[in-house]
Amino acid sequence: MNLRNINIAFLLLSTIILGSCKTKQESVQLTNSKPKNILFLAIDDLKPLLNAYGENQMYTPNIDRLAKMGTIFTNAHVQQAICGASRASVMTGMYPDHTKVWDLETDFRDSAPELLSMPEYLITQGYETSATGKIYHKGIDRKSWSIPYSNPNYYDEKYGTPAFGSYQDPETKRIMNAALKEGREKGLTNRALRNYVFNILRPSTESANVSDLSYTTGLYTIEGIKKMDKIIKTGKPFFVGIGYQKPHLPFVAPKKYWDLYKREDIKLAVPQKQSEGTPKWAFHSFGELRNMSDIDSRLDTGDVLPEAKQRELIHGYMACISYVDAQIGILLDALEERNILDETIVVLWGDHGYHLGDHALWNKHSNFEQATRIPFMFAGPGVAKNTKIDKPVELLDLFPTLFDLAGVKEAKVDGKSLKPLLDTDPKTNINPTYAVSQYPRWKDKMGYSIRTDRYRYTEWHNDGYRSFTPYKEERILARELYDYEVDPLETKNLINDASYADTAKLLKAELKSFLTK
């Protein structure tokens, strides 16, 4: 509902305040209805490799079902393509330069203690909050949960506990257990012991003929439903977060999900080379993948994996997505069985995208499209059904959007409510023009990138620059410009192309305005 359509008499009678949504501002909404439940689905390392996003080689019927129930954003981007920074951003609604989290180790409670998390704020609004799986990267953040966060360990008794939480293949478990014994005999403990084992064996993939409850992915679903049931009994609205850790490496999933795909039909990324004219520090040597024991650790930036290994990895990534997809179906069924589907907001998001060989890159950790672009979808009361929105939006917009949809009062955040795009009222609308991402490289460089409907413009700043320090032209080491209408694979940096001079000037002004506001 739009503010201009509400008359004074209605305001006095209902004391309902509806705020308009403006770019880079929070949304304000109080409603006279009971606040909606929130099912918060965080999926680690998930790029938009989904049938609902036009990837018809994928078997994802349950995420398709969710998409038809609501609205998906096709041009959504994370604030930084690394778990720690991205999750701190979405959970607080703040950019990384506000959370001061740019890595995997920093806890926003230490770097920006004045910030409140989304579930922490919801507790003050009468919600019960709880979670299982990977929500934050570092720790469990006890302040966020009114009912303790917990991770399940009741694995399928037929197969037992997976080795290092990941592996069920009997031979893999045998070798790892032997390595553990050796390491302990050498006096190793904790991380040193873990590294000793992983240096001997740490496969990048596993296809074992086991049940869904043999890995944590299946257990998180059961645990999440238990938490919902516990809160439903209280009569309070719930926020339940379920953080699936697949398709993160290692790519392990029950064999039945691997069997959905034929490896020989899998398409490899093209071209597998670095972009022409792009600064070398925009790329990386995919150390996360090289830490797996079956990957050549000597590979360097720009090196290409053998084709057979690429197909195996992509096959595993796809199998993991279908494994998670099956869990989404169980959750949607659970909402229907409890007759709460119509009073529950469901949001599904990936914490960043993923390189699968493009630019000779794997994993995330860049400002390129494959690393920043994510699946992002909402369903539930007040959300238009079976709708796609192409406008550029940001993951940190999730925080105020959920509050607006659920009927919770405003919170001061960097993100903007996307409810005017999600609802079915043609009189409400916003027009976001770009999404911002950033990525640090080495100790002193930071790349800031804006993605519009057509272009990506990136500046690499030196000397430890952040947006809260003075913007100086002499700090800019390099710039990038890509036109997705003519070059969707980012094969050439167009920043020095004279025909794009006006575009580059305009985008530079947009980015500078954002960085200096």
Tokens of 42: 């965080």
Cα distances (Å, whole numbers) of residue 302 to 280, 305, 373, 443, 488: 10, 10, 22, 21, 20
Which amino acid, 28?
V
In the annotation, is 137 catalytic?
Answer: yes
- Compute the distance between CA of residue 509 and CA of residue 501 in angstroms, rounded to an integer: 12
Say which residues have a Cβ less than 8 Å from residue 132's Cβ, sequence separation at least 6.
149, 150, 151, 152, 220, 223, 224, 227, 241, 242, 243
In the annotation, is 83 catalytic?
Answer: yes
- Compute the distance between CA of residue 360 and CA of residue 218 in angstroms, rounded to an integer: 32
Residue with tokens 């004391």: 15
Exactly one of 21, 77, 83, 352 is catalytic; name it. 83
Tokens of 12: 């006095």
- Compute the distance between CA of residue 172 and CA of residue 160 in angstroms, rounded to an integer: 13
- Compute the distance between CA of residue 213 and CA of residue 225 in angstroms, rounded to an integer: 14
Alpha-carbon dihedral sign for residues 71, 77, 79, 81: positive
Instruction: Give the 3-state DSSP-derived string for 6-45, with helices as H, strands as E and coil as C.
Output: CCHHHHHHHCCCECCCCCCCCCCECCCCCCCEEEEEEECC
Exactly one of 21, 77, 98, 137 is catalytic; name it. 137
Residues noted as catalytic: 83, 137
